[in-house]
Structure 1
Amino acid sequence: MRIQDAVLDALEKNRGEYLSGEQLASSLGVSRNAVWKAIQKLEEAGHKIRAVPKRGYTLAPESDVLTVQSVSRFLDTDMPVYLQVQTEVTSTNTLLKAQAEQGAPEGTVLIAESQTAGKGRLGRHFTSPPGTGIYFSLLLRPHCTAEKSLFITTTAAVAVCEAIEQVTGLNPQIKWVNDVYLNEKKVCGILTEASVDFENGGLNWAVLGIGINIAVPEEGFPEEIRSIAGAIFDGPCPVEMRSRISAAVISRFFALYKNLGSNAFIESYRSHSFLTGRAITFSLGEETYRGVVTGISDEAHLLVRLDSGEERAFSAGEVQIHKGFANPKAE
């Protein structure tokens, strides 16, 4: 571990307390001058550090740089997690897929402060500005068939909702199949990409990408998504909130992932369903239909009672729900 990483690790673990240069040097087995140089490098990287004579160093309360250390201190999982944090990337999914092909272990997690080419479903761009969101991907090597891989996405949606509830006390919902909504606005998108082993029908690996809007960007959301995009907080991003929510999502996901094949997530998915009871319009092939969502099946299919009275179950990717579904629940 680099000296500056070790110093940051000590400061993160002792937030609110001062550590003297002598303490840090002794615990790390380095000189006080090496500690001083590490502090300088951390400040250059954006960390706000207070230095008080005869007391030492402490992270300022407002210091809020997303780092391996800031996330790790909130993790609560017995799953081995190999964290990586970068300031800016093209796409965390793209980079982690390359690592998967090179043999990176399950539990590798890549978090970015921002993305220049964030990926959404159906080839859409996912807006990923710095400082107001968290964008991360998890590498999985699941023992399941390609058909069951949908459960990775649905499990992740549950993990995001439960993590937001745990950290903030708010009540997000899941818009089938992979979006998380809060106050009628989308605050999170989820995208799973996988490599299929065609010999046995299983997966070589899966990369689960999650993007969460913690706060509204200073310049607002782009015009094309302004009507549907939202954030967990209306004001500025609270200090450490990105680290806390990142860690909570990762921890909760891996807790559910242990029982991926058992559908253990499904009751929570149902209780968080945003569309249940709502009238929707959707496309199936070239045809357009209307109906009322009646629930979610055990296989995470969308259950709909069409205007004709027919009851249907639809799988992910089979239908395209039109915008404007966020109407009051049907009676």
Structure 2
Amino acid sequence: MSTKEKVLSALENADGNYISGAVLAETLGISRNSVWKAVNSLREDGFKIDSLRNNGYRLADERSFVYPQRLQKYLSSRYLGKQVYCFKEIDSTNNYAKKLAHENAPHGTTVIAESQTAGKGRMGRNFNSPAGTGLYMSVILKMPLKAETAQLITSCAAVSVAQATDALCPAESKIKWVNDIFINDRKICGILTEASISFETGMLDFAVVGMGINVYSVKNAFDSQLLETASSIEDECGIVIDRSQLCAEILSCFEKNLGLLENRRFIDEYRKRSCTVGNYVMVTKGNSQRHAYAFDIDDSACLMVRYDDGSEEALNSGEARIIKL
């Protein structure tokens, strides 16, 4: 562990209380000058560290980005998040996670970034990922799943994010089929799953589940057009939550729900949280669009729709945009 990491760990363990430079130096077996240099280096990395004469230093801001020492403080999952890579900026957490998966990274390895320059959304869209507002994370899954079961991973992740969000703030998170989390009719999270399936066995090689959650206010980070549909936990609930705690809660819920993939017991909650069912939607598949009524979600997490001609279909791909009447 580097001097900087040692100082960060000591400040984290102080739980927001001041700890003097002299105590840090003596405890860590380094000089006070080394403490000072480490604190300044941490500040350059983006950590908010208060200093007060005769009191010392403390980690000051719960908006600090996610880093391993703080994440481990909250983490209760057995596998997910036990190996973690944190970046101040990256092109895409999914891209990096896929690279790690090909290099035999273990199940549960998690990649987290403060910002993304090329965040990925569904249907080839970009995912806006500015610094200081969100939690951008990707989890590597290596589980012995058949392809048809692996298709449920995105729905399972959506339930997990909704549960974690509701556990930490006064919200009633809803799920827009198939992968978006909404609070007060505003999108606060998007999920993208990319997978490798063995053609020989029909089994999952690995999946990378990317989750982008808008945690802090985005009013000054998003343009006016995006703000018509997107928001954040802070903007909708009026509270500030610790991103490390939210990340740990998501990983815990996700690990628990992954254990329900085979028996599909999480689908009931996915169905209950749906904000798509009971609405008219515009179904987009490729270049075609059709008007339909969304009337249910089946046990494979497919959206059941009824078209204007009376025909019905179970959608397992494409997009269903809610039509506001």
Q: 1:268 deviation in Å?
A: 1.1
**Comparing 169-178 and 34-43, the one that deviates more:** 34-43
Kept after mapping to 1: 8 A contact 2:183/2:236 = no
Stretch of structure 1 that moved more, 21-30 or 69-78: 21-30
Q: Which residue of 2 aligns with 1:149?
A: 150
- Superposition deviation, residue 170 in structure 1: 0.5
- Determine the structure 2 residue equivalent to 1:51: 51
Deviations 1:157-201 (A, max 9, x none): 001100110011201111111111122122111111112211111
The equivalent residue for 1:179 is 180
3-state secondary structure, aligned to 1:115: coil
Instruction: Name the stretch that deviates more: 196-205 or 279-288.
Output: 279-288
Whether the aligned pair in 2 keeps the contact of 1:215 and 1:236 (CA below 8 Å) is no
Q: Tell me the CA shift for residue 239 of structure 1.
A: 5.3
- Determine the structure 2 residue equivalent to 1:301: 302
Paired AA for residue 298 in structure 2 = S
8 A contact 1:215–1:235 mirrored in 2? no
Q: In the alignment, which residue of structure 2 is the partner of 1:275?
A: 276
Q: Cα gap change, 1:149/1:238 in structure 2, threshold over 3 Å: closer, same or farther?
A: same
CA gap 1:301/1:25 in 2 versus in 1, 3 angstroms? same
Q: Distance in 2 between matches of 1:143 and 1:102?
A: 18
Name stretches of at least 5 consecutive residues in structure 1 with no aligned partner. Answer: none
Shift of 1:283: 3.7
| SS at 1:51 equivalent | strand
Residues 215, 237 of structure 1: 8 Å contact kept: no
Aligned mates of 1:237, 1:93 — CA distance in 2:
30
Unaligned runs of 5+ in 2: none
TM-score, L = length of structure 1:
0.89
Q: 1:149 to 1:253 in 2, by over 3 A?
A: same
- Tell me the SS of whatever aligns to 2:114: strand
Amino acid at match of 1:231: S
Amino acid at match of 1:136: M
In the other structure, the counterpart of 1:9 is 9
User: Match of 2:319?
Assistant: 320
1:126 counterpart SS class? coil
Deviation, structure 1 residue 218: 4.9
| In 1, Cα distance between equivalents of 2:63 and 2:288 | 53
The range that moved more, 139-148 or 9-18, is: 9-18
Give the SS at the match of 1:277: coil
* AA aligned opposite 2:139: L
Q: Given that residues 193 and 209 in structure 2 are in contact (C-alpha distance below 8 angstroms), is that contact kept between their aligned partners in structure 1?
A: yes
**Correspondence for 2:256:** 255
Structure 1 counterpart of 2:301, one-letter code: A
User: Is the CA contact 2:169–2:239 (under 8 Å) kept in the aligned structure 1?
Assistant: no
For residues 263 and 235 of structure 1, do their structure 2 counterparts lie closer, same or farther at Cα, with a shift above 3 Å needed?
closer
How many equivalent residue pairs?
Answer: 324
Aligned to 1:131: 132
Q: Shift in Å at residue 277 of structure 1?
A: 1.1
1: CA distance, partners of 2:40 / 2:220: 31
Q: TM-score if structure 2 supplies the norm length?
A: 0.90
Q: Which residue of 1 aligns with 2:196?
A: 195
Deviation at 1:288, TM superposition (A): 4.1
- Matched position secondary structure for 1:73: helix
CA RMSD of aligned residues (A): 2.4
C-alpha separation in 2, matches of 1:239 and 1:301: 34
**Which moves more between the two structures, 178-187 or 301-310?**
301-310
Residues 78/200 of structure 1: CA separation in 2 closer, same or farther (3 Å cut): same
What amino acid sits opposite 1:3 in the alignment?
Answer: T
What is the CA–CA distance in structure 2 between the aligned matches of 1:287 and 1:118, rounded to whole Å? Answer: 26
Matches within 5 A, 1:63-74: 64-74=64-74
Distance in 2 (CA, whole Å) between partners of 1:156 and 1:113 is 20
- Taking the aligned partners of 1:236 and 1:282, their CA distance within structure 2 comes to 31
How far residue 61 of structure 1 moved from its aligned partner, in angstroms, is 4.5
User: Aligned pair 1:140/2:137, yes or no?
Assistant: no
Q: Deviations over 1:116-136 (max 9, x none)?
A: 100111111111111011111
In structure 2, C-alpha distance between the alignment counterparts of 1:285 and 1:55, rounded to whole Å: 62
Q: Does 2:112 match 1:115?
A: no
Conserved? CA contact 1:47–1:63, under 8 Å: no
Partner SS state of residue 262, structure 2: helix
Distance 1:35 1:150, change over 3 A: same
